[in-house]
Structure 1
Amino acid sequence: MRRVRIGDMEVEDSAGSISERLAEAFARREHPLCLCQPVGVPMYVARAGGRHVLKRMPGSGPRHGPDCDSYEPPHALSGLGAVHGEAIVENAEDGVTLLKLDFSLSKQAGRMAPAAREASDAGAVKTDGSLLSLRALLHYLWEQAEFNRWRPAMTGRRNWAVLRKFLLEAAEGKTAKGKALADVLFIPEMFDAERDAAISQRRETFLSRAMKAEGKRRSLAVLIGEVKEVAPARFGHRVVIKHLPRFPFMLNEDAHRRMNAVFAPELALWNATAESHLIAIATFGIDAAGIASIESIALMVATDRWLPFENRYEGALINALAKRGASFVKSLRYNMPAAQPMACVVLRQDGAAPLGMYVVPDGAEGDYREKLDELIAESGIAAWTWNIGDGAMPELPG
């Protein structure tokens, strides 16, 4: 529970009057103060999902108390540090965030799309912070929706309907390629046989708006969905998304081959972990026959709690912390290559300083360990390290 000061009044963010207070602050362009620290931490008010919400000021996350809902680990501990301020430009005055993407949101009529950057080795190991890859966009929205965070009260409260609601809210106030991201982001509704006709009608209405022709070019939409299967088709393959059983997305042979090469670790991890979720983000268009075809795609694996993880060691650490009742923030890689160290999670300990937790791959060489030591030293946060080559997971913090 968070206390904030709006004008000369202190109020809890769960109070019944908070919506009215935030609306007033929004109209006055006032910056409320989060009282997690004695001097207060400035915040701002934005509109999302038809309501007013409290947002932390750009770059202010580490200034909040570790117990505060607005606490954010230092950006350098994840891939966010390389893109924030360049590929992600926040404006707290109007609440609009500019996203600079390295992939297209349109396609020239009658032409094949260029090879997807995310479906190439360059896309998989890209370190440039000036543009967001497709995977980085997914990580950003996941983090904005706070699905990389865990606290015990979240147990049993996440399903696809919840994810969809907050991912769509996270997209509001974001622009990319001259478009409002919310206008092109397609996240399927949770399937309900009794409402199938109404859901289908809303889907078709949204896609017809999102894919309007722009001269000789046609807009593409961005899909975020959970993969049910990738199956052979008569020509190429089709990606079947959960909650869209009768609306497949076609994938040509070249894109399928590249996806399997670049995202082999994610596909293997999903295949080996029965309770995991495979999340796809893809740009797609619809042809004259009404068939959806994927232009570019990226994949991410999440635990049964919908927390992203990159390997079974990260999965084991996340599950152990969650079972212990810990609160933590999972770091996301964005554009950062696998060879670059980052924190696995930042543990938020009640009444104590945050703790960075690192999983060091087996066979990590001197250069990796030097970078890790520098990262830990620069973060200013104490560290817990699991060296995979040394064997089983070390004892967790008390």
Structure 2
Amino acid sequence: MLKRYPVKVRTPKGEKIYSAEFQTSPKYARAWRKVLERCYKKAILYCCCPGRGEKKLYIRYVSDTDTYIVARYPGTGREHARDCVYYQAESSSGAITRTDARGIIEETSSGLIRVKTVIGIRKRDTVPKRSEERTERKSKPRGTGLRVVRRKPAISLLNLVYLLWERAGLNRWHPNMEGKRNINTVYALLENAAGKVMAGREVLSRVLLIGTQSRFQENLNRQKLEYAEKNNRRLIVLSLLEGVKGNRIFLKYSNSLPEIRIESSLWERMREEHGVVLKSKYNILVAIQTDPPVHGKNGRYFTVARDITLVPVSENWIPVNSVYELMVAEKLMREGRIFKKPLLRENQKIFSDFVLLDSLVKIMKVFDGKKGDEFRLYNSRYGSNWWYWDVIKNPDKIPSFPPRICKSGWKDQER
């Protein structure tokens, strides 16, 4: 079990050691936050575990939840004791990696991201659904003859979309973007983000097809289709949904996309999970993982959907989870606000629906069901320093947003 050790905080005024209990106990939570807030960008921290080396730490501000956390410096994971929460071994290639709380997304020191898809990109690489651990017999007769092989958890198709959206910056909005975020821009941003993601052994951009109106990008899609057919690679296809007729999925901006067929059982599952979305007037982003494409006699490629997910988006491609979130996003854009929409959730108890980047009050939450414990949790953490809309109590009127304090851009508030 990983252990949290005392931390030494060194400032120009001197040094002080804070115990593990002071860092983790709820009764000291506010006091510990004040320490981190006061020392942010002003102090050097050192872990007091019995490891080797300096074991330097730093204070990081997480704008999504308005919290301060202690993190290790890149490349220092091996300095800590093996039972320390900051310990991190090197990968087999020698590159230092950082894995998120769920273990799904791994980031190397060079900025490359590694993920494992539920359905492998190479057709022979199908991953069993329950594959976090397996026991297998060793080939050599030494020891017990058994070993446990820990497998990397697979990322869902929805979280893969969220990962690309966050890396491409498409979950952010600034009034300067008005009129500039069209399908061709979305393609370029996603293509760049996917070029830094490894799905298994494949660079994701090589098998990512996105709807477009650009001839250059259409030609790029056709090159990817040829590559996928030749090398037996599955595709990830992204575009806006037009509809489903018979066993075919129809997409917008589809000139360079393959004809996609879908089994009735898969589409019925989508209808059960997203019935409200499909009946609404949302713009619906659809992400489809398909079999390797086949070049048909009519000159077009065709393929079969193996997994599919739907993501409602605003006119400016901001993902939302409900019509009420869409109303908030549209109002924020009309009023020229700077904000972002958090998408990838780790293990946070608090996960805001929007984060204002031009206000001291950052956290925004839409309650479209019973508030209960979640509301009390936000109140205990932020007091009056957060914004919320109780849809059940007041469904017809969105409360006024917190006042703006800067107009120069989100970097003012990202710190």
**TM-score tier (shorter):** 0.5 to 0.7
1:174 matched residue in structure 2: 197
> Are 1:222 and 2:262 an aligned pair?
no
For residues 143-166 of structure 1, give each alpha carbon's deviation from its aligned partner in whole angstroms, at most 9, with x where no partner exists. 111111111111111000100000
Tell me which of 118, 121, 135 is aligned to 2:158. Answer: 135
Query: Counterparts of 2:378 and 2:264 in 1: how far apart (Å)?
Result: 41
Deviations 1:157-213 (A, max 9, x none): 10001000000111122111221112221223325xxx5xx7665433221213444
**Residues 315-354 of structure 1 correspond to what in structure 2 (within 5 A)?**
315-332=326-343, 342-349=351-358, 352-354=359-361
1:86 aligns with 2:103: yes
Deviations 1:207-237 (A, max 9, x none): 1213444xxxx320111112222222xxx23
From 305, 317, 332, the equivalent of 1:306 is 317
Q: Distance in 1 between matches of 2:242 and 2:59?
A: 38
TM (normalized to structure 2)?
Answer: 0.61
CA shift in 2, pair 1:336/1:309, >3 Å: farther
In structure 2, runs of 5+ residues without a counterpart are 1-39, 44-57, 68-98, 131-151, 404-415
Equivalent pairs: percent with the same residue? Answer: 20
Equivalences for residues 4-15 of structure 1 within 5 A:
none
Give the unaligned 5+ runs of structure 1.
Answer: 1-36, 41-58, 64-71, 77-81, 118-128
Which SS does the other structure have where 2:123 is aligned?
strand
Alpha-carbon displacement from aligned partner over 1:99-144 (angstroms, at most 9, x marks no partner): 23333323359xxx99999xxxxxxxxxxx9432101110111111
Contact map agreement 2:361 2:386 (CA 8 A) in 1: no
Q: Is the 8 A contact 1:144 1:170 kept in 2?
A: yes
Shift of 1:243: 3.6
Q: How many Å separate the matches in 2 of 1:135 and 1:335?
A: 14
CA contact (8 A) 2:121 2:234 kept: yes
Deviation string 1:264-302 (CA, Å, 9 cap, x unpaired) is 23323xxx32xx421111111224644222111111111
Change (3 A) 1:288 1:248: closer
For residue 396 of structure 1, what is the aligned residue in structure 2?
401
Matched, 1:160 2:183: yes
State the shift of 1:317 in Å. 1.0
Give the 3 Å change call, closer, same or farther, for CA 168–359 of structure 1 in structure 2. same
Is the CA contact 1:133–1:334 (under 8 Å) kept in the aligned structure 2? no
Higher RCO (CA 8 Å, separation ≥ 6 residues):
1
CA contact (8 A) 1:260 1:267 kept: yes
Pair 1:316–1:199, CA change in 2 (3 A): closer
Runs (4+) of structure 1 exceeding 6 A deviation are: 37-40, 113-117
For residues 179 and 345 of structure 1, the distance between their equivalents in structure 2, rounded to whole angstroms, comes to 33
Paired with 1:75 and 1:134, the residues of 2 have a C-alpha distance of: 28
1:352-367 → structure 2 map (5 Å cutoff): 352-362=359-369, 364=370
Counterpart among 383, 387, 396 of residue 386 in structure 2: 383
Contact 1:284 1:293 survives alignment (8 Å): yes
Structure number with the higher helix fraction is 1
Partner of 2:222 in structure 1? 204
Shift of 1:73: 2.1
Specify the code of the residue in structure 2 equivalent to 1:328: F
Amino acid paired to 2:401:
L
The question of whether the paired residues in 2 share the 8 Å contact of 1:87 and 1:101 is answered with no
Q: Equivalent residues in 2 for 1:88-107 (5 A)?
A: 88-92=105-109, 94-107=110-123
* Structure index of larger Rg: 2
Answer yes or no: is the 8 Å Cα contact 2:239–2:285 preserved in 1: yes
Which residue in 2 is equivalent to 1:260?
Answer: 271
Give the superposition deviation at 1:377.
4.6
CA distance in 2, matches of 1:220, 1:39: 49
Instruction: Report SS of the residue matched to 1:390.
Output: coil
Separation in structure 2 between the aligned mates of residue 156 and residue 60 of structure 1, nearest angstrom: 38
Decide whether aligned partners of structure 1 residues 246 and 204 sit closer, same or farther in structure 2, where only a CA change above 3 A counts: closer
SS at match of 1:163: helix
Q: Partners of 1:279 and 1:116 in 2: how far apart?
A: 25
| AA matched with 1:62 | Y
Offset, 1:332: 1.9
Contact 2:361–2:387 (CA under 8 A) maintained in structure 1 = no
Deviation track 1:84-106 (CA, whole Å, cap 9, x = no partner) reads: 562111123x2211123333323
Residues 276-315 of structure 1 mapped to structure 2, 5 A cutoff: 276-285=282-291, 286-287=293-294, 289=296, 290-315=301-326
Which whole-Å CA distance do the structure 2 matches of 1:61 and 1:102 have between them? 32
Q: Distance in 1 between matches of 2:121 and 2:315?
A: 31
Distance 1:300 1:105 in 2: 22
What is aligned with 1:46? Answer: none
Is contact 2:209-2:257 (8 Å) kept? no
Q: What is the rounded CA distance, in whole Å, between the counterparts of 1:294 and 1:91 in structure 2? A: 31
Alpha-carbon separation, structure 1, partners of 2:154 and 2:356: 29
Name which of structure 1's ranges 241-250 and 310-319 shifts more when overlaid on structure 2.
241-250
